[in-house]
Amino acid sequence: MPGLENDRYLKALMKQPVDKTPVWMMRQAGRYLPEYKATRAQAGDFMSLCKNPELACEVTLQPLRRFDLDAAILFSDILTIPDAMGLGLYFETGEGPKFERPVRSLSEVQKLGVPDPEQELSYVMNAVRTIREALAGQVPLIGFSGSPWTLATYMVEGGTTKSFSQIKKLAFAEPQTLHLLLDKLADAVILYLNAQIAAGAQSVMIFDTWGGVLSPRDYKDFSLQYMHKIVDGLVRENEGRKVPVTLFTKNGSMWLEAIAATGCDGVGLDWTIDIGEARSRIGDKVALQGNMDPSMLYASPERIEEEVQLILQGYGKGSGHVFNLGHGIHPDVPPEHAKAFIDAVHKYSPQYHQE
């Protein structure tokens, strides 16, 4: 692939041969790094950090200076689209994101516009361009978005929730209203991810954090069909190479076959499924990303190494595995434990890629 020193992440997603299993971490630019905390303090707050392309670039590159990672991921937030729709996103310390104006009625949904990525979300595209230039072909850049269902959850609930009562009330009492919202969000995500690809993202990922709170039938109805619509609407080739797309539903292991059938290139796995079982179910169709329990990074470096070996062994020989955690790295993990994890993947994986 032209212009990339290390393309094993893209190759693994396309199930092409690699010399070792590529590895990156969800939330690899984040609060477990002291340098991230310093840059965030400089920005003033989290959204100011997201909206400053130079500082967003700086925090994207910080983990790559410390660790031998095979990909960079755009530093941003999944709630940029609802924020651009004018819902008044703000962050309460210790409580996570909140919206001043939650969306709960048909008239409120009808009023929402689909944001123009180069206008209302131009700060994200500027960050992509800045990061891509700064990477100078070292590793590929991953762009991302939240899934329509996950975005809708925050928009309807007005923030984080344990019960999901407002979104499920809408789903079951006024399904047509929720479908209208999800359809608008799918259109917004297609535009947003295609703009990231045009700006330089070489792979994209859709995070369906809350898909796992749905029943099997409702998952397909309210979450999966909209991710499928996005996959169908994405630009899949740019700069003369394929742009792979990965779908990740937390607690989605019962629906792996349906996720793989969307036409995506990779399926993200959380830690609640054995990777060998996942491979036997869908590994001939798609690449798999995952799936070490993020809490394993609290263990000793020796135990982390052992876990990496067990997961590599579970996946077995051949390409099609992107090593990752089963969800984002926790903020209080020691950075040297993250290093032990990443180094172990590169140390023990070559034997699975020999002819």
Output the pLDDT for position 30.
Answer: 96
320 to 15, 39, 291, 297, 352: CA distances (angstroms): 4, 35, 13, 24, 11
- Evaluate whether residue 316 is within a structural domain: yes
- Evaluate whether residue 2 is within a structural domain: no
Output the pLDDT for position 3.
Answer: 82
Alpha carbon distance 196, 145 (integer Å): 10
Strand partners, 92: 96
Contact indicator for 14, 1 with CB cutoff of 8 Å = no
Output the pLDDT for position 94.
Answer: 78
- List residues with catalytic annotation: 27, 31, 40, 77, 154
Output the pLDDT for position 95.
Answer: 81
* Residue-range definition of the domain harbouring residue 283: 8-353
- Evaluate whether residue 335 is within a structural domain: yes
What are 154's two structure tokens? 């925050």
- Evaluate whether residue 3 is within a structural domain: no
- pLDDT at residue 175 above 50? yes
Output the pLDDT for position 1.
Answer: 42
Pairing of strands 237-238, 241-242: antiparallel
- Evaluate whether residue 317 is within a structural domain: yes
With a pLDDT cut of 70, the percent of the chain lying above it is: 99
Average of per-residue pLDDT values in the chain: 97
Digit-coded pLDDT (tens) for 202-225: 999 999 999 999 999 999 999 999
- Residue in the block written with tokens 């779908």: 247
117 to 6, 17, 29, 190: CA distances (angstroms): 29, 35, 23, 10
Looking at this protein, which amino acid is placed at residue 211?
G
Q: pTM of the predicted model, to two decimals?
A: 0.98
Alpha carbon distance 149, 165 (integer Å): 14
Instruction: Find the mean pLDDT for residues 32-47.
Output: 96
- Evaluate whether residue 1 is within a structural domain: no
Digit-coded pLDDT (tens) for 234-293: 999 999 999 999 999 999 999 999 999 999 999 999 999 999 999 999 999 999 999 999
> Binning pLDDT at 50, 70 and 90, where does residue 23 land?
very high
Residue 324 three-state SS: strand
> Binning pLDDT at 50, 70 and 90, where does residue 312 land?
very high
Instruction: Find the mean pLDDT for residues 152-173.
Output: 97
- pLDDT at residue 2 above 60? no
Worst-scoring range by mean pLDDT, 48-62, 93-107, 125-139?
93-107
How many structural domains does the chain have?
A: 1
Contact indicator for 6, 23 with CB cutoff of 8 Å = no
Q: Binding site for substrate: residue ranges? A: 27-31, 77, 154, 209, 327
CATH number at residue 122: 3.20.20.210
Output the pLDDT for position 101.
Answer: 97
- Evaluate whether residue 233 is within a structural domain: yes
Which segments of the chain does DSSP mark as H helices, in order?
A: 8-13, 34-43, 46-50, 53-66, 80-84, 106-111, 122-135, 148-157, 165-173, 175-199, 216-218, 225-233, 256-260, 275-282, 301-315, 335-348
- Evaluate whether residue 310 is within a structural domain: yes
